[in-house]
C-alpha cells in the first residue's frame, strides 16, 4: 500500500511539472510571437514613413503627404535624424528587439510619437530641401526674404514658435547660421512651451554699413532639451538703392542720335538709365508709360528690368494717334527706393517736304545733252501720300534754252516752254507713302544742249501742303 501511495504522489508531481513546463513554454512562445508582431508593425510604420518621405522629396518643395501609422507599446526612442527614420524598441526575445529604421533619399527633420496608438503623421518638403516629419516645434514664417541697404535695420515682431508635439518642451534656445554674419538678433523667445501652445518672438535684422552687396541666406535654428528642433530661413538681399532714373529719346535704332521732335508715323526709340545715389549704373525694376498731350496713356511696358542700368525699347507714332503737341515718356524705377523721370518730346503733323527725298545719284544726260533722266524721288512718310503741284527747273548758262517736257514715273505732267527758274504748274502728281520712283520715267526734256558749258541744274518741288523742297545741283 505504501508503495502504491508513493507512486501516485510521484505521478501527480510529474504531471503537474509537465503541465507547468508546457504552460511556461507556451506563455513565453506566445509573448515572443506577440512582441514579434508588434515589432513588425513598428517596422512597417517606419517603412511607410520613409516611402512617403521619398515621394515628397521627389515632388519638390511644398509637396506633402499624410501617413497613418499604428504604434505598439515598448518604444524607447524616436529617430528622425540625417536620413534615418524610425524607432528603437525594447523587447526580450531573440530576434525581436533593437532598432526599426530606414534611410530616406533626402535629409529629414522632425518628431515622431512614441506611445502606443494610431497617428496621422504629416510629411512635407520645405524650401531648403529638408523633409519635415511629424508634429514637433514649428516656426512661421518658414522663409522670410527682404531687400535691404547697407547700414539699415529691420525689426520683425511676429515670428511664431509653436509646440505641435504631445510633450511639454523646455530649454528652448536659438542659434544663428554663421552665413548671416552676425546680422540676426533674437529676443522674447519663450524658454518653454506646453503641448499645443505657441509663443511670439522678435527677429532684428541689422545690415552692417560695410556689408557687400549680395544675397545673404541663412537659418534660425530652435532646439529644446527634448531633442525637438526646427529651422526657419532668412534671405537678405543687400543691394544698391535706386537714386536716379533718366529717360532719353532717339531718332535711330542705334540709339546714337538724340531727338525731341517727331511726326506721326515716326518710330520713337527711347532709353531708360537707372543709377544709384552716386551715379553708378545699376539694375532696377521698371514700368514705362507713353502719354499724349491730353495726358492719356497710349502705351505702357510693365514689369521690365534694366540690364546693367539700361533699358531700350521703341514705339511707332501711328498715323491716327491723334493730338499734335507735347508728348512724354514716364519711367518709374524701383530698387528699394522708387524714382520717376519723364522725357517730353514734340509730335507734329507730317510736312511733305520733310518726308521727300530727291537723288541725282543715278541721273544722266542723254540725246546729246538735251534730256536728263533717271533721277530718284521718294516719299518716306509712313502715313500720307505726297502730291507735287508745281516744279521749277533752274540751270546756269544757256539762258536762252527752254524746258519743254517733264515726265514723272512715265507720266507727262508738263508740255510747253518755260525758261530757267520759272515755276511750272504741272499736272498734280501723287507719290504714295513709302514709295520710291527712280527710273527712266523721270525725264526733263530741253529744246537744246545744256551740258556743253558746265551747266548746273536744280529742281524745286512745291507740294499741296505749301511746302517746298530744293534739290542739290546736277551734275
CATH code: domain of residue 288: 2.60.40.1930
Per the structure, the complete domain to which residue 209 belongs is given by 137-238
Tell me the average pLDDT across 338-351.
88
Q: Is residue 401 part of a domain?
A: yes
Do 366 and 466 belong to one domain? yes
Do 232 and 141 belong to one domain? yes
Does 91 score more than 80 pLDDT? no
**Cβ pair 329, 341 in contact under 8 A:** no
- Picking from 90, 145, 139, 88, the residue whose alpha carbon sits closest to that of residue 110 is 139
> Which of 305, 326, 348 is a domain's end point?
348
Do 61 and 169 belong to one domain? no
Do 208 and 273 belong to one domain? no
| Cα–Cα distance list, 199 to 40, 155, 161 (Å) | 39, 17, 5
> Which of 223, 238, 253 is a domain's end point?
238
Q: Is residue 429 part of a domain?
A: yes
Does 136 score more than 90 pLDDT? no
Does 93 score more than 50 pLDDT? no
Query: Greatest CA span in the chain, whole angstroms?
Result: 181
Do 342 and 382 belong to one domain? no
Does 95 score more than 50 pLDDT? no
| pLDDT mean across residues, the chain | 86
Query: Cα 405 vs. chain centroid, distance in angstroms?
Result: 65
* CA gyration radius, the chain: 46
Higher-scoring residue by pLDDT: 41, 173: 173
Does 10 score more than 70 pLDDT? no
Higher-scoring residue by pLDDT: 444, 454: 444
Band of pLDDT at residue 62, cut at 50, 70 and 90: confident
Percent with pLDDT over 90 in the chain: 47
Contacts of residue 8, defined as CB under 8 A and 6 or more positions apart, other chains included, come to none
Q: CA-to-CA distance for 138 and 363, rounded, in angstroms?
A: 86
Do 150 and 224 belong to one domain? yes
Percent with pLDDT over 70 in the chain: 89
End-to-end CA distance of the chain: 164
> Which of 326, 348, 370 is a domain's end point?
348
Do 118 and 156 belong to one domain? no
Do 371 and 447 belong to one domain? yes
**Given this model, what pLDDT does residue 5 score?**
52
Please tell me the total count of domains within the chain.
4
Q: Is residue 30 part of a domain?
A: no
Decide the pairing of beta strands 261-263 and 337-348: parallel
Full-model pTM: 0.45
Does 113 score more than 80 pLDDT? no
- Beta-bridged to residue 118, according to DSSP, are 70
Q: CA-to-CA distance for 378 and 390, rounded, in angstroms?
A: 16
Band of pLDDT at residue 63, cut at 50, 70 and 90: confident
Domain with residue 207: its CATH number is 2.60.40.10
Do 100 and 184 belong to one domain? no
Q: Is residue 47 part of a domain?
A: yes
Q: Is residue 270 part of a domain?
A: yes
Q: Is residue 6 part of a domain?
A: no
Q: CA-to-CA distance for 81 and 406, rounded, in angstroms?
A: 97
Do 342 and 361 belong to one domain? no
Band of pLDDT at residue 3, cut at 50, 70 and 90: very low
- Picking from 456, 431, 451, 455, the residue whose alpha carbon sits closest to that of residue 441 is 431
**Cβ pair 357, 377 in contact under 8 A:** yes
Q: CA-to-CA distance for 361 and 342, rounded, in angstroms?
A: 42
| pLDDT (tens digit per residue) in 242-265 | 899 999 999 999 999 999 998 888
Amino acid at each position: 500500500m505504501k508503495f502504491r501511495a508513493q507512486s501516485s504522489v510521484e505521478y501527480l508531481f510529474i504531471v503537474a511539472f509537465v503541465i507547468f513546463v508546457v504552460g511556461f513554454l507556451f506563455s513565453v512562445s506566445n509573448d515572443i510571437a506577440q512582441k514579434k508582431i508588434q515589432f513588425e508593425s513598428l517596422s512597417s510604420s517606419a517603412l511607410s514613413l520613409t516611402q512617403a518621405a521619398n515621394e515628397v522629396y521627389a515632388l519638390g518643395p511644398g509637396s506633402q503627404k499624410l501617413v497613418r501609422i499604428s504604434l505598439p507599446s515598448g518604444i524607447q526612442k524616436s529617430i528622425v535624424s540625417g536620413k534615418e527614420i524610425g524607432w528603437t524598441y525594447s523587447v526580450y526575445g531573440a530576434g525581436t528587439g533593437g532598432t526599426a529604421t530606414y534611410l530616406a533619399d533626402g535629409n529629414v527633420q522632425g518628431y515622431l510619437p512614441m506611445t502606443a496608438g494610431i497617428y496621422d503623421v504629416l510629411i512635407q518638403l520645405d524650401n531648403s530641401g529638408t523633409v519635415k516629419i511629424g508634429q514637433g516645434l514649428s516656426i512661421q514664417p518658414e522663409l522670410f526674404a527682404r531687400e535691404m541697404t547697407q547700414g539699415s535695420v529691420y525689426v520683425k515682431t511676429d515670428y511664431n514658435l509653436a509646440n505641435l508635439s504631445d510633450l511639454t518642451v523646455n530649454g528652448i534656445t536659438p542659434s544663428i547660421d554663421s552665413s548671416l554674419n552676425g546680422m540676426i538678433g533674437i529676443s522674447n523667445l519663450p524658454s518653454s512651451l506646453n503641448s499645443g501652445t505657441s509663443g511670439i518672438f522678435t527677429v532684428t535684422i541689422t545690415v552692417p554699413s560695410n556689408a557687400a552687396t549680395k544675397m545673404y541666406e541663412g537659418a534660425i535654428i530652435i532646439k529644446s532639451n527634448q531633442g525637438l528642433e526646427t529651422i526657419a530661413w532668412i534671405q537678405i538681399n543687400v543691394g544698391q538703392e535706386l537714386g536716379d532714373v533718366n529717360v532719353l529719346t532717339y531718332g535711330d535704332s542705334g540709339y546714337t542720335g538724340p531727338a525731341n521732335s517727331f511726326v506721326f508715323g515716326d518710330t520713337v526709340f527711347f532709353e531708360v538709365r537707372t543709377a544709384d545715389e552716386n551715379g553708378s549704373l545699376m539694375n532696377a525694376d521698371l514700368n514705362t508709360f507713353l502719354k499724349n498731350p491730353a495726358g492719356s496713356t497710349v502705351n505702357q511696358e510693365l514689369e521690365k528690368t534694366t540690364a546693367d542700368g539700361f533699358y531700350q525699347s521703341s514705339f511707332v507714332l501711328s498715323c491716327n494717334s491723334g493730338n499734335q503737341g507735347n508728348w512724354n515718356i514716364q519711367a518709374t524705377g524701383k530698387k528699394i527706393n522708387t524714382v520717376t523721370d519723364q522725357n517730353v518730346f514734340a509730335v507734329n503733323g507730317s510736312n511733305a517736304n520733310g518726308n521727300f527725298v530727291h537723288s541725282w545719284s543715278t541721273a544722266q544726260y542723254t540725246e546729246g545733252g538735251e534730256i536728263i533722266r533717271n533721277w530718284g524721288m521718294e516719299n518716306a512718310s509712313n502715313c500720307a501720300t505726297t502730291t507735287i503741284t508745281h516744279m521749277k527747273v533752274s540751270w546756269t548758262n544757256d539762258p536762252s534754252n527752254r524746258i519743254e517736257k517733264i515726265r514723272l514715273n512715265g507720266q507727262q505732267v508738263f508740255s510747253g516752254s518755260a525758261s530757267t527758274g520759272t515755276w511750272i504748274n504741272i499736272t498734280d502728281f501723287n507719290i504714295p507713302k513709302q514709295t520710291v520712283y527712280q527710273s527712266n520715267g523721270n525725264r526733263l526734256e530741253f529744246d537744246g544742249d545744256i551740258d556743253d558749258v558746265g551747266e548746273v541744274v536744280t529742281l524745286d518741288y512745291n507740294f499741296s501742303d505749301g511746302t517746298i523742297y530744293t534739290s542739290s545741283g546736277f551734275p
